[in-house]
Each structure stands twice: as structure tokens, then as C-alpha cells.
Structure 1
């Protein structure tokens, strides 16, 4: 499972960060899923190997512009590039209304099929090799988090049981391991499910939209290898800003991830006030966010950067690519 960050700033872009967009790919294969599509996401894609024509689904967390203003442009470019394959769009109802208004007012043409699925707590979708589910977050508009879980896990064959039942190694072993039932020459039927089991646990990543209550993610994060969550502020800035924007600080997210035993945490959606390097007295630095989170979290911690790509390995490690 690969995670590529296409935008990591909140509200507005900076010189080094575009607004929110994150790509998720299976370990093998070209189809992929996009979570959020801030302004200029299609321009960011030009600097990656991700093809919009291989995009299987777009999952929008909420209707605020830094998460969806890039959607019409990306869909229009897919049309111009000759896309024929269907595309699944998931998000709040407001996203579909927004898209329809843009289509009407700009004479935008889309000939390929778009299936819009309104997100709710019962979402259960398969796309690009992932099972996708969702849960509601706490923000000043309807907002969601998405859980992506691997669907296709290689099967491990129970060789000893087959031998005990008099089935010698041969082509039948391969068929069973591929998930196919078969009939033996003696008339016996063998069900693959009776002689195989998953070779490992599926990898799970949870990618959240804007949210001031990380505990809302408790159920969705069960067995998750990775949580990607906003850390718009440090705690002191959040106190100054007040609760109205309904964002999280680094300490909140880190405490939650630690309490749930999530082994890998990537923070993103940083306020533009946090700079890579202070230019004058009083400037806030992005390193402050990591320092605050580290105080409360003992797992592998990273701050997202535009174009950074990470692999969740089969044993649950977070590795840079």
C-alpha cells in the first residue's frame, strides 16, 4: 500500500505546499484512489507517475474549498485526455451539487460515466483493490474520514491437512491456493476455503478530513497500520485561535494515536503560518508540530510533505519511497 501526498497545506497554498490531496495505491497495479482534491491537484499530478486515466475513485471528505476546488478541473482533464472508464465519486451531497453547478455554468462536458455515492456511515465500497469505509468527523460542516483496507490477500495452503486426507502435491494444490474449488478423480469435492487461510493480515490506512475530535475515529482505526490526520496547529496556537474553526492540534492527534496503539502516524494539513525555516523573529516553524506530537506519541511519526511517498510494508512498517 502506497501513500503519496499531493497537498499538505490548510486553507491556502504556500510556496512549498499545495492544499489537500492524497493518493493511495495498492502495492501492485496501476489503479489508485484520491482522497480530497484541492485546487491545482491536477497540476501536482504532473510531477508524479500517477495517471488520471487510472484513477478508480475520488473520496472527498468535505465541501470546503481547500479540499474540493480542484475536482472540476481534474474531471475535465480526464475528459480531454480521452477517459472512457467509469469513475466513482464519494462525498457529501454538497459535493455533487457543487459539481453540477460548475458543469452548468461553465458548459463543462463529461462523457465518461461518473457514479456519485453519497457518503454515510454505511459506506462499503471496493475500488482499486481496497475495501473503503467511512465515519463522520467533527467539523463545522459535514466531514468524513475514510478507511482503506486491502481486499486481495494471498492465500496460504494447509498442506498438512491435504496430505492427511490423501491428496498428493500436484495441480490441485495450485488451484486451491488460487481460491478455486475442485473435484478429485475419486469424486470428492474440495472447497478452497476449507484448505486455505490468508497469509497475513490486510494492511489498513485511515485518512481523515478536518476534525477537532480524533476520538471519533476509534472504530474506524481498529487494526489500522497508519493514521493520516490533520494537525493544523500546535496547542498554543489552537488556544489563541479558539474552537470555532474546529481543527485539531498535534497534541490531540498524537494522544489519540498513542491511546489506540496505532503504529504509524502522519500529520498533515498544516496552517500556512508554520514555515520550514524561520525568516524573522516570531516566525513559527513546522518542526514545532512534530516536537509537540512526539511528546505524546511513541510510534513512527512523520510530517507530510508534498510529493512524499510512503509504503506500508506487509509487516506494517512505514517506509519512504
Structure 2
């Protein structure tokens, strides 16, 4: 029902194995997709995923640090050079919107489509519907600059025909069944069959919280109510964070794990790793620290890894080449 594709998972600077922050969200409702953060070279990462900038409906930027937004102007410029015409919504802190506007002006960038600008503050109070079945709400985080998490709720409603009841009244399968399913009443054997008597409305909903940089995971307690998955930075191991000190205002794997456990979060994906933790040994240490404090399903994101959240809230890694789910 919701697919997450990581375009960059490094903190601060790119490395040979990881780019800086970027995450694509796709839903089962439409071919349109959403982008959260656009670090430098995000558009190049996209070229390896099959996702088209023409289908990108919304971009949400968490904060103004370059590893989260320096790739935005280039991505939007390339979409324009590709003759995009559909409007695009950009949700970001006001300082990012100001910077983007100045970039357009000072680099003589003329886009072939409208960019609808929305300050992140405008989606703080309550969810806003971005497109059919997809809502977003922002939550303030604790970082060196104004920074946000975005909670995405995806809702799908379907109408299921009660075929057993129709067989009991003797209505043969065919055009009348379809009419009932689509809300039309029909006449059969001298009586009116009402659609609402034979159709059951079924609604499924999932919620994913995508956080920017954040020194205090517990500020997301409200955001994570009824959430199926949290994507959060784990820049450091706790021992490294203790040495670095509070200045960078980032989280450790331990801090995020303790928070996720405290709110009974079923799924956790960690990203935004310091380059010192990019190697196999560093990743193993991060994973072990998380598992020491958190008992739910956990994944450590890597560039081009893709995860699918089912309508029942099950999160699984998806094999990029075959589309098959990987067994844990």
C-alpha cells in the first residue's frame, strides 16, 4: 500500500557507497509519488529507480541543511528541461522556500510548470490532503535549525459486493451485480434491490512518519500514535554521540530504539548514518544497539533499498530487480 525507496542514507556528506538524504514514497492509489528531502545528486539517484520526475507530485523538505536540500533546484530544473507541465507542490520551512526563490532568480531558472509553495507551518495543526487518499501533517523537531517530520497517512476505500446475499435472492451474476457495486439500485422480480443492502464499504489505512534531523526522538510521541512505521536518523552509536557531544543535535541508535519501544511502534527504519558507521562492522554495531532496546521490526536503510508497507501494517524489504519480498 505504501512503498519507500531510499535515494540517500548518509549524514552530512556523500561517500562512495551512500548519497546524502532522499526518500521516495509511492502509494498503491496512483502512479504519482512524493519525495522527502533532496540532497545533492538526488536526481542522479532517481535515474536508477524507474521513478520519473514527471510523476513527482509533492516534495517535502525537512530543513535547510545542504545534505537535505542542495539537490532540489537541479532536480526541478531537469524536470523542466524534460518538458514537465504538471504543477508540483513544495512543502518546506520558510527559509528553504526563500532560498529556492532566490536560486530561481539568481540563476535565471525558468520552470515549465508551476511550483506551489507551502510553508511547513501550514501543515502543523492538522492533516492536509495532498492528493486523493494521501494526507500529510508536519511535526516540529529538535535540531540546530527549524526542522520537521512529516506524517503521511494513506487511506484506500473499496466496495465489496455481498455475492452470497445476491445468490440467495436469485440475481444472476452480470451487469446488475456491477451496477449494485457502483451504488445503483436495480429492479429484479418486481422488487427494488438497494445497493446499500448488498455492498460493504471497506477502508484500509497506513501511516508512515518520516523525520528529519532530530536530537530528541520523544518529541514524536504524538506523531507516532497509530503509526505503522517511523523513519528516523541514527547518525551515531551512543558511545560516539557521547564523545561528539550535544552540538550537532543528532540522535543515536539507542535513543531512537528506546523511543520506538516506549510507544510500541511496530516498524522502525534507521537512516542518515555518519560515514564512520557505513562499513559492515559499523552497521552491525548500529543494528545490535537498536536490538538491545527495541523489540519490533527494524531495518537499516541503504541507498536503493526499497520497503513495502502492506495494508495490514507489515513492512518488508522488496527485491529491486524482481519486486519480490525478501524473507527476514
TM over 0.5: yes
From 124, 132, 135, the counterpart of 1:131:
135
Within 2, Cα distance between the matches of 1:8 and 1:238?
A: 18
SS in 2 for 1:295: helix
From 228, 251, 256, the counterpart of 1:253:
256
> Aligned pair in 2 of structure 1 residues 106, 174: CA closer, same or farther (>3 Å)?
same
From 283, 297, 311, the counterpart of 1:300:
297
Q: Deviations over 1:84-118 (max 9, x none)?
A: 11111111111110111111111111120111111
297-306 vs 155-164, which deviates more? Answer: 155-164
Within 2, Cα distance between the matches of 1:257 and 1:169?
A: 52
Matches within 5 A, 1:96-175: 96-120=97-121, 121-122=124-125, 123-127=127-131, 129-157=133-161, 171=175, 173-175=177-179
Within 2, Cα distance between the matches of 1:139 and 1:167?
A: 65
Instruction: Decide whether the 8 Å contact of 2:166 with 2:198 is kept in 1.
Output: no
From 208, 212, 225, the counterpart of 1:209:
212
Instruction: Decide whether the 8 Å contact of 2:231 with 2:269 is kept in 1.
Output: yes
Aligned to 1:66: 67
> Aligned pair in 2 of structure 1 residues 172, 208: CA closer, same or farther (>3 Å)?
farther
Q: CA deviation at 1:42?
A: 0.3
Q: Deviations over 1:137-181 (max 9, x none)?
A: 1111111111122232323456678899x795765654454xx54
Instruction: Decide whether the 8 Å contact of 1:231 with 1:253 is kept in 2.
Output: yes
Indicate the RMSD between aligned Cα atoms, in angstroms.
2.5
> Aligned pair in 2 of structure 1 residues 101, 198: CA closer, same or farther (>3 Å)?
same
Instruction: Decide whether the 8 Å contact of 1:233 with 1:250 is kept in 2.
Output: yes
5+ residue gaps, structure 1, are 279-284
> Aligned pair in 2 of structure 1 residues 193, 254: CA closer, same or farther (>3 Å)?
farther
5+ residue gaps, structure 2, are 319-328
From 160, 181, 184, the counterpart of 1:182:
184
> Aligned pair in 2 of structure 1 residues 16, 312: CA closer, same or farther (>3 Å)?
same
Aligned to 2:311: 314
Q: Are positions 1:93 and 2:94 aligned together?
A: yes
> Aligned pair in 2 of structure 1 residues 108, 146: CA closer, same or farther (>3 Å)?
same
SS in 1 for 2:110: coil
> Aligned pair in 2 of structure 1 residues 101, 187: CA closer, same or farther (>3 Å)?
farther
Within 2, Cα distance between the matches of 1:234 and 1:287?
A: 11
Q: CA deviation at 1:50?
A: 0.6
Q: CA deviation at 1:187?
A: 9.7
Aligned to 1:231: 234
Within 2, Cα distance between the matches of 1:193 and 1:272?
A: 60
Q: CA deviation at 1:317?
A: 1.7
Stretches of 4+ moved more than 3 A in 1?
Answer: 155-164, 166-177, 180-195
SS in 1 for 2:156: coil
Matches within 5 A, 1:76-91: 76-91=77-92
Instruction: Decide whether the 8 Å contact of 1:162 with 1:195 is kept in 2.
Output: no
Instruction: Decide whether the 8 Å contact of 1:26 with 1:129 is kept in 2.
Output: no
307-316 vs 293-302, which deviates more? Answer: 307-316
Within 2, Cα distance between the matches of 1:193 and 1:144?
A: 45
> Aligned pair in 2 of structure 1 residues 319, 97: CA closer, same or farther (>3 Å)?
same
Alignment TM-score, normalising by the size of structure 2:
0.86
Instruction: Decide whether the 8 Å contact of 2:180 with 2:198 is kept in 1.
Output: no
Number of matched residues?
Answer: 311
